[in-house]
Amino acid sequence: MKLFRFNGGRIGVTIGNDSWDLTDALGIDIHAWPPVQMVQLIARFDERMAGVLEHPATRRLDMATARLEVPIEWPNKLLAFPVNYLKHGLEMKSVNRADLNGFFMKANSSLCGPNDAIVLPDLPDREIHHECELGIVIGKGGRNIRREDALSHVFGYACLIDMVVRGKEERVMRKSYDTFCPFGPWIVTADEVPDPAKLQARLWVNDELRQDANTRDLIVDIPSMIELSSSVATLYPGDIIATGTPEGVGPVKRGDRVRIAIEHVGEMTLQVR
């Protein structure tokens, strides 16, 4: 199942080859503030989805008419693990590692969707890099989640690009510019991903393949990320965890096209301006 936002905050679902607009059937107010409609749905997903496809307000959706938006606009938190692939640490000559330094937080306002542009700040003397990552969406919250229980807390997965300005400022600042976290194009529910520990993730810039790695090579794997994160902060439904990027990071410039594709999850292409 793929869960997505589209056309001004409406919520849809794709099952197999068929898609539906569930917005009216679920009683979702697309104008409500703060925009936590998707988080609320994830928190009560089984309850809210029961019988929804048979609801008279559910409508078939032609995906050609849907402009996909960031699936989660307002998570409680967006966590990320730095230097979580050995070869990335080597290419950056970094002394940091995810198993030594833990996670950091990235501003929620950096999230953007598959049809948004990556907007570069006016920093002509600085390199701004792409980082190809898997996004993990929490479905069942908790504190001090055990590693062996961790995957039962995952709602689903999405493609995620962690954009960053290289430099000496705090990492959180350099990664938190608006549009610096493309996320989507939808959330694939966990049952659709055969093995999250064996996902091939690739990223291209202008059709040049720059990153090509597998989640089996993560230093801190997905269950351990959830275990570590929840030992510090309570995880809530809709929280997003970024796995960290493999080797091959590099600069982007205005006019570039950045494409990310993750096996069993999806792909999206964004313009840089």
Domain with residue 197: its CATH number is: 3.90.850.10
Residue 96 and residue 154 in one domain:
yes
Residue 62 and residue 87 in one domain:
no
Question: Rounded to the nearest 5°, which phi and psi values hold at 138?
Answer: -75, 135
Residue 165 and residue 53 in one domain:
no
Residue 189 and residue 109 in one domain:
yes
- What pLDDT, in 10s, does the model give residues 80-133? 999 999 889 888 888 888 999 999 999 999 999 999 999 999 999 999 999 999
- What pLDDT, in 10s, does the model give residues 186-234? 999 999 999 999 999 999 999 999 999 999 999 999 999 999 999 999 9
Q: Which two tokens stand for residue 37?
A: 């409609």
Residue 143 and residue 89 in one domain:
yes
In the predicted model, is pLDDT for residue 13 greater than 90?
A: yes
**Which pLDDT score is estimated for 7?**
98
- Domain end among 69, 87, 104: 69
Residue 220 and residue 167 in one domain:
yes
Residue 112 and residue 91 in one domain:
yes
Residue 105 and residue 40 in one domain:
no
**First-residue to last-residue Cα distance in the chain:** 32
Q: How far apart are CA 21 and CA 229, in angstroms?
A: 34
To the question of pTM greater than 0.85 for the whole model, the response is yes
Span of 88-92, 154-158, 183-187 with lowest mean pLDDT? 88-92
In the predicted model, what is the mean pLDDT of residues 35-62? 98
**Which pLDDT score is estimated for 77?**
98
Task: Give the chain's count of helices (H) and strands (E).
Answer: 6, 19
Residue 13 and residue 148 in one domain:
no
Residue 63 and residue 173 in one domain:
no
Residues 6 or more apart whose CB falls under 8 angstroms from that of 185 comprise 4, 68, 71, 113, 114, 158, 159, 266, 267, 268
In the predicted model, what is the mean pLDDT of residues 154-160? 98
Q: Into how many domains does the chain fold?
A: 2
Query: Which structural domain, as residue segments, surrounds residue 63?
Result: 2-69
**Which pLDDT score is estimated for 234?**
98
**Which pLDDT score is estimated for 239?**
98
Q: How many CB atoms lie within 10 A of CB 268?
A: 22
Q: How far apart are CA 40 and CA 56, in angstroms?
A: 22
Label residue 74 by pLDDT band (50, 70, 90): very high
Q: How far apart are CA 51 and CA 56, in angstroms?
A: 10
